[in-house]
Structure 1
Amino acid sequence: MKNAALNYRHLYYFWVVAKEGSVTRAAERLDVAVQTISAQLALLEQAIGKALLAPQGRRLVLTEAGRVALGYADQIFLLGEQMQEVLAETDVGRTMRLAVGISDSLPKLIASRLLDAALKLPQKIKLICYEDDFESLLGNLSVHKLDVVLTDRPVPSGTTLRVFSHLLGESEISLFGLPEMAKRYRPKFPASLNGAPLLLPTRGNAIRGRLDHWFENHDVRPDVVGEFDDNALLNTFGRNGVGLFPAPSALAKDVREQFGAVPVGELAQVREQFYAISNERKIKHPAVEAILSAIHGKEFMR
């Protein structure tokens, strides 16, 4: 037998009850009678054919089916709120909203340069950036909470998520340090790196394995004084003179301006790649297309 069409008002009442933990508090929040909510919850459970909530003392708790339903309800009503925001913005000067997820391992200077192309569009852009780990960002992208994810790695093969990788570009990697430190370690590079204080990404970072391999191939053993999940924090410690740190060679000017650091030496054949991840095979958002156009036009490498 075919299931009846889902009543989204009933689902919304369930969502509020689940968030509030009781029908009484949900009724106060929604300004409706307790009996109204109870009746509509009963109709929802009848339509689904499963109990979604169960009493536990004075509270209502989710059943297993309720936890599954709540996950979908979260996505549905979050998207509804975002739709209202986008429509409201469209009425005021035709603002375009761009929700971007930025991987915590991606150099922030890279992210800034990539997004600069979108901000130069004639149409006004409202940029909303979220920083998180790679897996969490992909999950949010797959349910359309984000328009695009900027990261340093492609989507792993075999993923069940319908998201797609777009290579934006790549850059050689150099080691940077404050001028006095760079002056000390630049002569006889890379042999000078033996015992040199070094700040590196943690081993879960896409570039870390390539760095370790390079050190091994050149028979150098630096003193790794810090490892960081967050690239911005790594750069902050580098700016404070704690150690040498890796960054894309293409950003040497930006690294000097923002962190006061200069190149010590380039790690030949160690490259960092940059990707846009979308939930469509072809990127359709005008602001994201502007990012791709800038990359293809070589603006990124200037």
Structure 2
Amino acid sequence: MDIQWYPGHMAKAKRLLSAQLSKVDLVVELCDARLPQSSRNPALDELIRHKRRVLLLCKADLAEPAKTQRWLAYFRRQGLECMAYDKSPQKTKQARALIELAAKDVLERNQRRGIQKTLRAMVVGVPNVGKSTFINRLYGGSIARTGDRPGVTKSNQWVKVSPYLEVLDTPGMLWPKLNDQRAATRLAYIGTIKDAVYDQYELCACLLADLMAVMPEQTIERYKIKDPSAQGYALLDEVCRGRGFLMRGGVCDLDRACAVILDEFREGKVGKLTLEDPPQTGEEAHDGKTL
């Protein structure tokens, strides 16, 4: 299965993002705490590497806490200001404080000069990582358009979240060629890649195999699997029979099974899971893997 997704609005968004960089004081980069390295766009990293940056590991409530702490330690060793983030009011307050701290020198310089200038931050990340949701939390209401699928935000949008902080919501961006197909598969697991561009049966068979490898008891119990040795599509059939996803004549309803498997995994109903470990010193960024 070869997964590729780079629609035209992403190329346009990259150009617009580049044009806006000179207008912002810092960049808030969001990645998914379940996939902290593979959900960071290397093309974005190249664009924003000279700007002040805060990294938020989003959806931390769906990831393994111990592994999240290891990832935070790893990123801090790289010199990044970072924190684990979920949608709670407490975490939103902490994220706001971290943004202000990262731009402390800008705020102090403006105060010394008597300048009443709003701090400007750009929010970036891959599709469906939670950028618009984060901005809505900062704002305290629904101002940025959100959705549970990638590609909802397709243009830049400035939002004033407080008298002194303005943020730019940007479209989710992938990179033109997904060479690491293991990473691409994981990105599809968490909903970063549009469902229509890959074979859902194959993806769900891969996901089930991965879940059986790292959390077999929870997976067997959740999907009422009677034959844990089943592999590939046979494992999907096990889920259909166990959960009653059957059509007339006892035919397995694979479409329904796949929809449920993906939705339940993305919502954390199978259990907290982090899909990759931090790289060891000297390893390439995408070599740290759990599954």
Normalised by the size of structure 2, how large is the TM-score?
A: 0.22
More strand by share: 1
Normalised by the size of structure 1, how large is the TM-score?
A: 0.21
